[in-house]
Amino acid sequence: MRGINGLHHITAIAGPAQENLDFYAGVLGMRLVKKSVNQDDPGTYHLFYADAEGHPGADLTFFPWTELAPPRIGHGLAVEVALEVPAGSLTFWASRLDKYGAPLGAIEQRFDDKVLPVVDPHGLKVALVEPGAVPPRAFTPWDGSPVPHERQVRGLYGAQIWEREAQHTEAFLTKVLGFEQIAVDNGLTRYGVPGAAGIVDVRESPDGRRGAWGVGCVHHLAWRVDDEEHQLEVRARVDTSGLRPTPVIDRFWFKSVYFREPGGVLFELATDGPGFAVDEDAAHLGETLVLPPWLEPARSRIEQVLPPLKSDTEFAARD
């Protein structure tokens, strides 16, 4: 069985877009590699942050849906995003985040990792992780970041999801997507794919309430597939398992299939290509609003409703 290749991206729901940009590009120092719109709601930005080249597995994205209420945290929801940082950098990050007033927890041990919990400006729980075992990943430092190369966020480490009945999710992860159970620690069960970056920690919450989306929570987790052939192979297994995957949807920079895993968390299968440089010079990713070809005729209307955003290149000068 050919399983998935780890994480492709994670998408979350944010509040005001400028505040989101200020934190992820200005404080965390990630590169805004694509400034576009939610293709299903074109009056809303879709902002993509990653390393300098926007490698699959480095990409944290946001829908700024400011009109939504805060989320209802509970089962059937991804409740935390984990970002990989270099070994020995958590003290630097604690000092930097404290400087900008970000709510911080104490550095803690999870499994074999050192973890610094932080909450972003809109309530999303983020964990900065020094991995005990460094996952294989492509990474290119961003010269325009206010954070030195040797401290920069390397990419997505994983996510934590809550489930009412974890055994159904476990069976799906291992038998359909190709995950392996790695370890159990303090109520969390960790799953990963051998040779790939991107873990998922599952917490069983049988007596809790059902979770619901809102500002400051994860919208979906996207898993990597090589290409369309690989995507269709995995989609077929998802379909056979009794779930309801969507048809393949062309997102222009990659192709996507969406479905809810047995516990209700929204998953996506996303192809590695064609990538973010297909419609922009790699040296100027994220500097202008880009739209897929089918939305170009509506550009003027879209631009009228989107709030202006200050360029992330201004952060280094202000830092």
Check if the beta carbon of residue 141 is closer than 8 Å to that of residue 149.
yes
Instruction: Give the Å distances, CA to CA, from 243 to 176, 211, 239, 260.
Output: 11, 20, 5, 7
Give the H/E segment covering residue 301: helix 299-305
Instruction: Give the Å distances, CA to CA, from 42 to 125, 179, 253, 299, 304.
Output: 26, 34, 16, 10, 11
Rounded to a whole number, what is the distance in angstroms from the first to the last CA of the chain? Answer: 48
Instruction: With 0.95 as the threshold, say if the pTM is over it.
Output: yes
Pairing of strands 125-130, 77-84: parallel
What number of other Cβ atoms are within 10 A of residue 185's Cβ? 14
Q: What is the pLDDT along the chain (319 residues), one digit of tens a residue?
A: 899 999 999 999 999 999 999 999 999 999 999 999 999 999 999 999 999 999 999 999 999 999 999 999 999 999 999 999 999 999 999 999 999 999 999 999 999 999 999 999 999 999 999 999 888 899 999 999 999 999 999 999 999 999 999 999 999 999 999 999 999 999 999 999 999 999 999 999 998 899 999 999 999 999 999 999 999 999 999 999 999 999 999 999 999 999 999 999 999 999 999 999 999 999 999 999 999 999 999 999 999 999 999 875 555 545 6
Domains along the chain with CATH numbers? 7-318 (3.10.180.10)
Alpha carbon distance 18, 35 (integer Å)? 12
